[in-house]
Amino acid sequence: MLTERRLLVAANRAAFAAFGVVDIGAVEGSGPGGRVTESDVEAAAAAGDEPADGTTADAGGAESATRQVDEGEPTASTSAADADGATPVEAADRDRTLAAPATRKVAEEAGVDVDAVPTEETKEGEPFVTAEQVRQYAEAQQAAQAADAEAVSGAEGEDDHIPYRGVRRTIGQQMEQSKYTAPHVTHHDRVDVTGLVAARGRLKQRAEERGTKLTYMPFVVKAVVAALKEHPILNSQLDEEAEEIVVRGEYNIGVATATDAGLMVPVVRHADQKGMLEIADEMGELVESARDRSIAREEMQGGTFTITNFGAIGGEYATPIINYPETAILGLGAITDRPWIVEREAQAPQEDGDAARKSVEARKVMTLSLSIDHRVIDGADAARFVNTVKEYFETPELLLLE
């Protein structure tokens, strides 16, 4: 989208050269979300009726100061993105805007102020904004943010200023709400996953023959669902208004995914009703759509429990923030080779005693970090849940019974 936007801006700038010097800040856009089109520039250039005092009248009759600048001269409203060829949509400045409740919800989720969304539509004499205009404005601002991050590299020793808005701000607000609403406690543990690594190795080629990329995550999802069935309090949320704990009857597992726009959590719905390969295929599609920003909002809602794999980039332990209003999140550390005490069955009658049946071996070990909402879940519940997950990781054949 950013490339297409730059081409559009380049075309408009070509129009500026063709039709003379035009102050884009004084041109009223007729495109989606108030975007200035080439025809708008042409009409403004043809009019040529700017007052000599350097002010122009906007659509509502109010005057705004403008001035002509030399090519390449920065102004107060010029961002690094402008210099790089990506001009953000100018924000409106209204005190009151009419919008449907659904539109306001879209704006809230996108981190957009409806009073800043450009619009020419009115209702009962008041500016009226639609959900589509909000989405277009949010996309334009996000594209500008990406251009800012790309263009603002700064000279050596200087600070870079990256706008905190759009998806990044929405994620931040969600994290803040969770952290300062739910008292977090994190339970840490380690588990021998040598059997899990071997099982995945045996099944990987068979899955590829069926067109499926089999990672460890489908095993984790199945193990988590099995553990949630045994410890349902972790598949819950707290309804503070009704003053009741809601234990969810569905098993919708969110998988935290790192994207260029920030952390997103696609949700595998009804994971308890799906097989290993079906979960793998669905997760692959959801993660890909999250990373290319084509994922639907509904595909990231309705989760009952979340898994985050910080071990994919080498992490060991963490304190994951709960995906509110859920009450628990499981963090996976990296799988590493560690010395591990392994118990074996006695091979001969003379092998009596615990010491004779134990040996230290190099094993595949994963670390686990389970954060819980301590208003709902006790520490003992968290420990029991993790112990159940460990059992399925140590003996993945048990998943065949689920």
CA distance 308 to 259: 13
- Other CB atoms within a 10 A radius of the CB of residue 346 amount to 11
Q: Which is it for strands 328-343 and 305-308: parallel, antiparallel or unpaired?
A: parallel
Q: How far is CA 2 from CA 194, 237, 261, in A?
A: 45, 39, 13
Give the tokens for residue 149.
Answer: 């991050």
DSSP state of 210: T
CA torsion angle 104 110 114 120 (round to 10): -100
- Tally of CA atoms within 13 A in the half-sphere of 59 that contains its CB: 15
Annotated catalytic residue, options 188, 231, 270, 374: 374
What is the SS3 assignment for 328? Answer: strand
Contact at 8 Å (CB) between 364 and 335? yes
What's the CA gap between 332 and 255, in Å, rounded?
11
- How far apart CA 327 and CA 142 sit, in angstroms, is 31
Spatial separation of the C-alpha atoms in residues 107 and 58, rounded to whole Å: 25
Q: Which residues pair with 332 in a beta bridge?
A: 368
- 374 labelled catalytic: yes
For every residue of 140-207, DSSP letters joined together read HHHHHHHHHHHH----TTPPP-----HHHHHHHHHHHHHHHHS-EEEEEEEEE-HHHHHHHHHHHHHH
Q: Do 53 and 160 touch, CB atoms closer than 8 A?
A: no
Q: Do residues 197 and 380 touch, judged by C-beta distance below 8 A? A: no
Residue numbers annotated as active site: 374
